[in-house]
A and B are shown apart, each in its own frame.
Chain A
Amino acid sequence: MKKQILYATAALLVAILAVTACGGGTTPTAAPPPTTATQPTTAPEATTAPATTAPQATTAPSGSATKLQLLGWSSSDAENNLLNTIVDQFNKSQTQYTASFDPSPNYDQALQTALAGGAPPDVFYVDSLKFPDLMKNNVLATPPANAIQDPDDFYPSLKAAFTANGTFYCPPKDFSTLALIYNKKMLDAAGVKPPTTWDELKAAAEKLTDSSKGVYGLALSADAARWVAFLYQAGGTVLDANGKMNIDTPEAKVALDYYTGLLAAGYAVTPDKVDSGWNGEAFGKEKVAMVVEGNWMVPFLKSDFPNVEYDIAELPAGPKGKATMAFTVCYGVPKNGAHLDGSWQFVNALTNKQGMKEWTDLGLAMPTRKSLRDGWVQKFPNLKVFLDGADYSHPWQFGPGFTVVTDAINKGIQEIAAGQATSESVLKTVQKAGEDVLAQ
């Protein structure tokens, strides 16, 4: 008897295991920020310096050179290949170091383990949202003098995202901004011009909505990374000038009421309402006429929805003017890295003017250096709106541990849209969540 029970249990366990194994896939997260990127440096340029190694000069560099690891995440094939090309150029430009780009699955976990375990990569991607966390844990190395070529050439808002206590820690490799992407045919058919203000946006969304056909004016996901742009447009902030949580304000209420009001009125929908995983998919399926998304939409629409005709406009201005979000990633060097000199040479090769030009010449990533702006816009005139966003953008960055706060915002938007909460109560909750995180 006992035996049968055991067999049955074993069989059951196996069955459960088999079933759960089938469901183990991770769902792709909807719409995170930064696109891709790393920058390539092209030519060796000034980096070489007198660093040539003495003993091994005659042998192949790969055998004797010190290895440098660039830890990052994987982007599109085109970008991975380009980055590898640029890394190769760095390797050929000098004989002391051999760098390799190692894209990792589960990037955050891989990085955290390597840092905590005392074996950090020589260079790694730092997302602007995570930069405060890394500062709090004091893991980033201070760049030596002149390690970063012409630091004032970077857009001030992007430079500020990686500056703490007056030190510019790591050069941003590229960035993305939000803009209003609209379906040309749908706007023409409804006789609507691309909206430039909140009022026009609301009117346009109303006109473009035909709920009997399941078509809506705008897709707005319950996502802090979209709503915060509206917050800045309304003159609100997340943190005040002193870094204190400051979201429970009349301006924030205006922004939240406007955003959720569009949803409540039925002129805007969350993408799941039109059977889509994220705003971009709803747009590609032509279920919505407009979306607030970033330049990652361009390659996405090209590959998945090549027949949709679209154009790009600046985000409509709010009561306090224009604002957009900038998502950016920098090349960080760890404080306890084993080859700091090589790391900085490598970072410079990737982000100096020549390296960044090569990296951004694909048109997927945007240059973070002002000096490259004109050349890039000439090459990709249709993406000008995204690059122009740099002038009035706010970095996607708050304080350490703020994923808790952005989660609270996401949840709040959902609850308001479902009629389960008011904007006052949500802002109070978010304010409290932020204060708690900052107090830690």
Chain B
Amino acid sequence: MAQQAQAIHVPATRAAGGAPAWLVSLATIFRYLILFAFALIFLAPFIFAIANSFKTAPQIAQDALNLIPNPFTLENYLKLTRGAANVPLWTFNSLLFAGVVTVGRVFLCSLAGYALARISFPGRNIVFLAVLATMMIPGVVLLIPRFIILKQMNLLATYPGGILPILVDAFGIFLMKQFFESLPGEVEEAARIDGATPFQIFWRVSLPMATAPLIALTIFAFQGTWNELQHFLIALGPTARDLWPLTLGLATLRGAGVGQQLDFGLFLAGSILMTLPMALIFIVFQRYFVESSSHSAVKG
């Protein structure tokens, strides 16, 4: 911490152009204090969740704010593997859904976005507006129609039924279209003169330039699917427990929403388990994301 502060201190002095050194270091300390405070605010819920997931029920009830579990217990985590809970299978399902949907969205949304941005065909604007319009409809309104459609297609409580309705989304198309429109057209023209087909131009020229929005889209899609509850509840239903993703499975740990029956320890253990992979993926991707974004910024 002190070293970091020092490192920042040096260029800061130069930038400040003659401000007294003590004032600059004071400002630095102050800045770090603020950062530290905010980091604490954001991290605190996770820290408490982790601490409490290792406590017994009476301890949580009486001393939820204590960060040291005493006695320390793994019981909450072990309970996740017993009884009606099938956490390994639910985790697999979550990964499957999130993985397929992410690949599908990245591919299909960029295709659609490219078509809407670069290929002119009659009714293009109307199609784009129709896509946008689906973003204006609250998701709840679609639940029952979606259920009926899935029922008619015999897709209720199947993997395809869980995946297909969310395989493409309007936001992804919108994001990709906006991006492709911002690319300089000359590069594509050059490719076209060289005899590339529209798909080749898309695949070989435009898409490689789109790493930043693609990574954003990946994070969105993965994280959105990983956390999705309502859609899976309707598409998979309460019977198909073997197809459930973690969100549905862990929601049953809450019981009937009757507050007094909530097993906090178990619930927190499940939440931690569910948050961890997401947090890891986000941290990894965020690095790529920042890199690629700053990289192109320099070029641009």
Report which A residues bind B (CB closer than 8 A): 1-4, 6-7, 10-11, 13-14, 17-18, 21-22, 24-26, 28-36, 69, 71, 73-77, 80-81, 100, 102-107, 109-110, 112-114, 116-119, 277-278, 280-281, 284-285, 296-297, 299-300, 303-307
Contact (Cβ within 8 A) A11 B216: yes
B223 interface neighbour in A1, A21, A109, A116, Cβ under 8 Å? A21
Partner of A3, one of B248, B257, B289, B296: B296
How far does the Cβ of B9 sit from chain A's closest Cβ, in whole Å? 27
B258 on interface, CB distance cutoff 8 Å: yes
Whether the Cβ atoms of A304 and B220 lie closer than 8 Å is no
How far apart sit A164 and B292, CA to CA, in the bound complex (Å)?
Answer: 66
Interface check B67, CB cutoff 8 A = no
B interface secondary structure, majority = helix
- How far apart are B205's CB and chain A's nearest CB, in angstroms? 16
Subset of 10 A-B contacts with CB under 8 Å: A3-B300, A4-B297, A6-B178, A31-B258, A77-B84, A80-B83, A102-B241, A105-B251, A106-B233, A304-B58
**Smallest CB-CB separation from A299: which chain B residue?**
B261
Residues of B within 8 A of A22 (CB): 45, 275
Contact between A106 and B251, CB atoms less than 8 A apart: yes
In the complex the two chains form, is B256's CB within 8 Å of A107's CB? yes
Are B148 and A25 interface neighbours, CB within 8 A? no
B135 within 8 A of A: no
Interchain CA distance A73-B255 in the complex, whole Å: 7
- Whether B179 sits at the interface, judged by CB under 8 Å, is yes
**Contact assessment for B238 and A71 in the assembled complex, using a CB-CB cutoff below 8 Å:** yes
- Report if B69 contacts A (CB, 8 A): no
B58-A21 in contact (CB<8A): no
Of the candidates A4, A35, A109, which one forms a contact with B258 in the assembled complex, judged by CB atoms under 8 Å apart? A35
Known: A10-B213, A17-B223, A102-B238. Is A75-B61 also a contact (CB below 8 A)?
Answer: no
Most chain B CB within 10 A, of A11, A34, A106, A119, is at A106
Q: Is the CB of B260 within 8 A of A297?
A: yes
Contact present for A74 and B260 (CB under 8 Å)? no
CA distance A36 to B260 in the complex (A): 11
A296 to B254 CA separation, bound complex (whole angstroms): 15
B residues near A102, Cβ cutoff 8 Å:
238-239, 241
For A69, the chain B residues whose CB sits under 8 A away are: 238-239
- List the 8 closest pairs (A to B, CB-CB), nearest first: A105-B251, A104-B238, A73-B256, A304-B61, A28-B259, A102-B238, A117-B147, A10-B216
| Complex Cα gap A200–B25 (Å) | 66
Which residue of the partner chain, among B57, B259, B300, contacts A29 with CB atoms under 8 Å? B259
Of the candidates B144, B251, B261, the one having the most CB atoms from chain A within 10 angstroms of its own CB is: B261
A297 to B178, CA, bound (A): 56
From B83, B229, B263, B297, give the contact of A105 (CB < 8 A): B229
From 81 to 95 in chain B, residues with beta carbon under 8 angstroms from any chain A beta carbon are 83-84
Flag whether B293 is at the interface (Cβ < 8 A): yes
Which residue of chain A has its CB nearest to the CB of B219?
A14
- Residues on A with C-beta less than 8 A from B60 are 304
Question: With a CB–CB cut-off of 8 A, which chain A residues contact B260?
Answer: 31, 278, 280, 296-297, 300
Report chain B residues within 8 Å CB of A80.
Answer: 83-84
Indicate which residue in A36, A76, A305 contacts B62 across the interface (CB closer than 8 Å): A305
Contacts of B278 in A (CB 8 A): 21
CB neighbours (8 Å) of A7 from chain B are 212, 293, 296-297
Residues of A within 8 A of B253 (CB): 74
User: What 0/1 pattern do residues 165 to 206 of B give for CB contact below 8 A with A?
Assistant: 000000000010011001000000000000000000000000
A116 touches B216 (CB 8 A): no
When the two chains form their complex, are residues A75 and B261 in contact, meaning their CB atoms are under 8 A apart?
A: yes
- Interchain CB contact under 8 A, A118 and B254: no
Contact, CB under 8 Å: B238 / A110: yes
Report which of A26, A110, A278, A303 forms a contact with B237, defined as CB distance below 8 A: A110
- Minimum C-beta distance from B66 to chain A (A): 14
Contacting residues, chain A, for B28 (C-beta < 8 A): none
